Amino acid sequence: MMEIIAADMEWQALAKKALSGECLTLEEGLSVLEADNDEVLPLLQAAFKVRKHFYGKKVKLNMIINAKSGLCPEDCGYCSQSIVSTAQVKKYTLLDKDTLLAGAREAMARKAGTYCIVAAGKGPTDKELDQVVDAVREIRETMPLKICACLGILKDEQAERLAEAGVHRYNHNLNTSKANYTSITTTHTYDQRIETVEKVKTHGMSPCSGVIIGMGETNQEIVEMAYALREIDADSIPINFLNAIPGTPLEHAGRTPSMKALKVLALFRFICPSKEIRVAGGREINLRTLQPLSLYAANSLFVGDYLTTAGQDVGADHQMIEDLGFEIELSAL
């Protein structure tokens, strides 16, 4: 009994530290990831104290449209769309404006406040940027949606044009730790990722950047990833858990245990306390039946399908949120 009380006090102390604006030490971060599974519920209760302070019981919903698929020259080991992947995925150039607008209407039907336009590739061509800008302007004029774009590495003038068109947020994930980066991809660098996030901020768009857990990183590297996102001041942090797709270099990687995934979410809540922490790709196969518990640390979900993999039924997500006694945030603006 005394051990349980001591552990609970330890997690509550981390919550208090997070709420005061202090950053966890490396040792404290590791203690979260290495906690006994018996301590996950008190750990989540402490994380929920922080989450509730900043977001109450509201849940932000985001929807992705895969605006360009399967034609990427990058060699990212986790991605079914990369040039080194043999996975059977749809291949098409950038979707036309009407299709992007239809996707925005679908996002509203799913009660998503944020619509994410994602295009595989190292960076957009001028023609692709023109198409995205045209669609974004019409969405902004006709629908109350927050728009997030994810188009790869940007040039200054491209970032400026997206911001002027009305893109609220730009996503460019760090994905893994700096030390682990070259084992995941060699066609761009970790520093290029950081530079793009900083460029987005310079042009007035909200930075969205996250990670993929389960790509051979150590626990210390997971803590360092959280530190990096705190350092760049990412407003929105998608936490993906690797979905090892057949035909990709990481196809044989094991899934992240559900309890470990919950500890990761608690860690990011403590280190980035005021930020939108999103349970993102791979949640269905890694968290499995424990998905509802993730929302005690996270305050955001992707609804519907991901880029090339299927997501949970939208109705099931809405029901999960209702059953928790939480509330969907209908407007992200």
pLDDT band, very low/low/confident/very high, at 6 (cuts 50, 70, 90): low
pLDDT in tens, 146-173: 999 999 999 999 999 999 999 999 999 9
The reported pLDDT for the residue numbered 9 is 84
Answer yes or no: is pLDDT of 4 > 90.
no
pLDDT band, very low/low/confident/very high, at 3 (cuts 50, 70, 90): low
Answer yes or no: is pLDDT of 8 > 80.
no
| Residue range 217-228: mean pLDDT, rounded | 98
Q: ∠ CA(240), CA(311), CA(63), 5° rounding?
A: 75
pLDDT in tens, 187-200: 999 999 999 999 99
The sign of the CA dihedral 320, 285, 111, 54 is positive
The reported pLDDT for the residue numbered 302 is 96
Please list, residue by residue across 132-164, b when 16 or more beta carbons sit within 10 angstroms of its beta carbon and e when fewer do: bbebbebbbeeeebbbbbbbbbbeeebbbbbbe
Which of 270, 271, 266 has its CA nearest to residue 279? 266
| Residue range 178-188: mean pLDDT, rounded | 94
Query: pTM for this structure?
Result: 0.96
Answer yes or no: is pLDDT of 325 > 70.
yes
**Which residues sit in the known binding site?**
72, 76, 79, 116, 148, 208, 278
pLDDT in tens, 244-297: 999 999 999 999 999 999 999 999 999 999 999 999 999 999 999 999 999 999
3-state secondary structure of 20: coil
**Which residues sit in the known binding site for [2Fe-2S] cluster?**
116, 148, 208, 278
The reported pLDDT for the residue numbered 2 is 47
Answer yes or no: is pLDDT of 117 > 90.
yes
| Residue range 108-113: mean pLDDT, rounded | 96
- Helix locations, 84-185, DSSP H: 97-109, 126-142, 156-165
Pairwise CA distance, residues 92 & 67, whole Å: 9
**Which residues sit in the known binding site for [4Fe-4S] cluster?**
72, 76, 79
pLDDT in tens, 46-99: 999 999 999 999 999 999 999 998 888 999 999 988 988 889 888 999 999 999
Extract the tokens encoding 195.
């530079």
The reported pLDDT for the residue numbered 5 is 55
Going by C-beta distance under 8 Å and a sequence separation of 6 or more, which residues neighbour residue 25? Answer: none
